[in-house]
Every structure is written in structure tokens, then in C-alpha cells.
């Protein structure tokens, strides 16, 4: 065993839902992002094979719990470094999916999913996030894979602004977000 995540303080729901490798600090080593359920998401920087905690998502009283189910690295602002998308899927509208921009090695909140309650009564539960240039304009767009009655969505990146351009059509019976 080369590395084991250290114990967390205040472990109400102590588990990691997703992980993603990416060279966050631009030093040539792959760093590790952890999407945590019930605890702040984290980035462990890799210093020659040694991982150390380099960033922890700031949470405040308005975000009492983080429900991150998916993480993805991508250069969403086109500045040459990796930014971090967090797909949150909680039972609380105070836990939206988010993008943290990497500004010289500091992750700062750059975007939050607009709030919304869907016809099913669900707040939405993002199960997966993915970056890709779906419209071919040279920048990364964001896809959110949702469940529990919330439609999956695509957000187009227009000069650093994410705008919803597609939403999965669901009928009134699609509580779980499936399309069958």
C-alpha cells in the first residue's frame, strides 16, 4: 500500500464517491481529486510519488453538507491549467454542481448550477460530470448526468460562462431519470 487517505475530522458520512487524476499544479505528476459525500471534496498533490492534501473545498453554514458524486478535470477557461468540476447529487438545493477555476494553483469557485426544482419534486442528483467540446468551438463544455427526476443537461462554455443549451426530455413518469 503506497498511500492511504488519512482519517477525516467530523466524519458523518465518511466515504469518497469518485476520484480523478490530473496534473493540477503543472509539475508533470498526476494529482488526485476526491469527490466526497458528506465531507469537503479534496485535491491531493503528487510530489514525486508522495500525495499530500493541497486543497479542500470550503464549506460554510449555507452548505452544511457536500454531496459530491463525480469529479472531472478540464481546462474550462483555456488558460492552460486544469480546473475542477464537481457533480453534486444531494437531497438539498444548497449542494449544486460546481466548477472551481484553477488560478495559479488556487481553486476558486467560478460557477454553480442554477437552482431548480423539477416537476418530480426533485432537486436533481448529478451522478456524473464530463468535459468535452461538444459544439466544436475550441473550448470545453460541461455535461451533467442526473437522476431522480432531474434531466441530464449540457452547458455550453461561451467565454467562461456556462449556459444550459440542452436538457434531456423526460415524461411525467421519469422519477429516476431513466429514458426507457
Domain ranges of the chain: 15-167
Which residues does 39 contact at the CB level (< 8 Å), separation at least 6? 8, 10, 11, 12, 13, 14, 66
What's the confidence (pLDDT) of residue 15? Answer: 85
Model confidence at 116, pLDDT cuts 50, 70, 90, reads: low
Cell numbers placing 143: 455535461
Task: Find, among 129, 180, 171, 130, the residue nearest to 149 by Cα.
Answer: 171
What pTM did the predictor assign? 0.86
pLDDT tens string 130-179? 999 999 999 999 999 988 777 888 999 998 889 999 988 776 655 554 54
**Would you say domain 15-167 falls under CATH 3.90.79.10?**
no
pLDDT tens string 20-47? 999 999 999 999 999 998 888 999 999 9
Contact 134, 163 (CB under 8 A): no
What whole-number percentage of the chain has pLDDT above 70? 75
Amino acid at each position: 500500500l503506497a498511500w492511504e487517505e488519512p482519517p477525516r475530522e467530523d466524519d458523518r458520512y465518511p466515504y469518497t464517491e469518485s476520484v480523478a487524476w490530473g496534473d493540477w499544479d503543472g509539475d508533470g505528476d498526476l494529482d488526485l481529486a476526491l469527490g466526497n459525500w458528506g465531507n469537503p471534496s479534496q485535491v491531493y498533490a503528487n510530489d514525486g510519488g508522495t500525495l499530500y492534501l493541497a486543497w479542500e473545498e470550503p464549506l460554510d453554514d449555507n452548505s452544511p453538507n457536500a454531496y459530491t458524486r463525480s469529479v472531472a478535470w478540464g481546462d474550462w477557461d483555456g488558460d492552460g491549467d486544469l480546473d475542477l468540476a464537481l457533480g453534486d447529487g444531494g437531497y438539498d438545493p444548497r449542494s449544486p454542481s460546481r466548477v472551481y477555476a484553477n488560478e495559479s494553483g488556487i481553486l476558486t469557485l467560478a460557477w454553480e448550477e442554477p437552482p431548480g426544482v423539477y416537476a418530480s419534486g426533485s432537486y436533481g442528483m448529478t451522478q456524473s460530470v464530463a468535459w468535452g467540446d461538444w459544439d466544436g468551438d475550441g473550448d470545453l463544455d460541461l455535461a451533467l448526468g442526473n437522476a431522480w427526476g432531474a434531466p441530464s443537461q449540457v452547458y455550453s462554455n461561451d467565454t467562461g460562462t456556462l449556459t444550459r443549451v440542452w436538457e434531456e426530455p423526460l415524461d411525467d413518469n421519469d422519477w429516476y431519470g431513466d429514458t426507457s
